[in-house]
Chain A
């Protein structure tokens, strides 16, 4: 399972990495914004993406739209401070599969990751 973490905060990527490693996922790649993320999806070919919303250069919503426009179908979990219902709907419409609002506990992030992967497995 290859997982791409896209967040402009190194601290947040480190926290997410720690949780993922505890879950047994070690094939991880990091990107610091949407543009960096797009440049890495081709070579890394992630099976799951964790994407922040507010980032410089290219925000997470634009990233997801471009990622989907290129035909990629892997699940995207948005991890963001954007908690308003309208934002969540906007993200889902853009192609986000699941949503975690910061701040989050390790248990919540783990639960959402498992939920997302389970949904994708069922959909196959």
Chain B
């Protein structure tokens, strides 16, 4: 199940960017995140509740976020921060929803997404969870998908993350 969670986030991220933005994204090696500091400037955050509890974060550097938003919406997002937040929130929603659908046999619901903008912002994960960060690269720039959910122990998380990355890249 643990490795499946990592794989489900990798698959859903690739699928959403490919289908909605026609943008190929490549996952790097997932790792356990040791800090609450956000990986990049803009974070879309969504919560899971039910048999899997925790959060997922889609984190972009500002320049990448604008490029992704332009592609997603088909318009210039630099004119409206509200449009940027809406687009990043919807991408976060789709990635979390699509990953959730792969949690076989688990009854899980997701919250509405929130978006935070600002360098050095901090995202606190649910107590007792381990945050896994999956780096992605694309023609629009690098970004990260992170999740911290109950049921993924720290001891196994690193091995699971590495195994999952290998499984997807082959």
Q: Which residues of A are interface residues toward B (Cβ below 8 A)?
A: 8-12, 14-15, 18, 54-56, 80-84, 101-105
Question: Shortest beta-carbon distance, A37 to chain B, in Å?
Answer: 16
Known contacts A10-B83, A81-B97, A83-B97: does B20 contact A103 (CB below 8 Å)? Answer: yes
Select A9's contact among B75, B86, B100, B111, beta carbons within 8 Å: B86
Say yes or no for B54: interface residue by CB 8 A criterion.
no
**What residues of B have a CB within 8 angstroms of the CB of A101 in the complex?**
101
> What 7 pairs across the A-B complex have the smallest Cβ distances?
A81-B97, A83-B101, A103-B19, A9-B90, A11-B87, A103-B20, A103-B16
Say yes or no for B166: interface residue by CB 8 A criterion.
no
Task: Classify the secondary structure of B's interface with A.
Answer: helix
- Work out how many contacts link A and B, with CB atoms closer than 8 A: 59
Q: CB distance A9 to B19 under 8 Å?
A: no
Q: CB distance B112 to A55 under 8 Å?
A: yes
Task: Classify the secondary structure of A's interface with B.
Answer: loop
Q: CB distance A104 to B19 under 8 Å?
A: yes
> What is the bound-complex CA distance between A44 and B128, given in angstroms?
49
Q: CB distance B112 to A81 under 8 Å?
A: no
Can you add 15 more A-B contacts, CB < 8 Å, to A9-B86, A11-B72, A81-B94? A10-B83, A11-B83, A11-B86, A12-B90, A54-B111, A56-B112, A81-B100, A81-B101, A81-B110, A82-B101, A83-B98, A84-B100, A84-B101, A102-B20, A103-B20
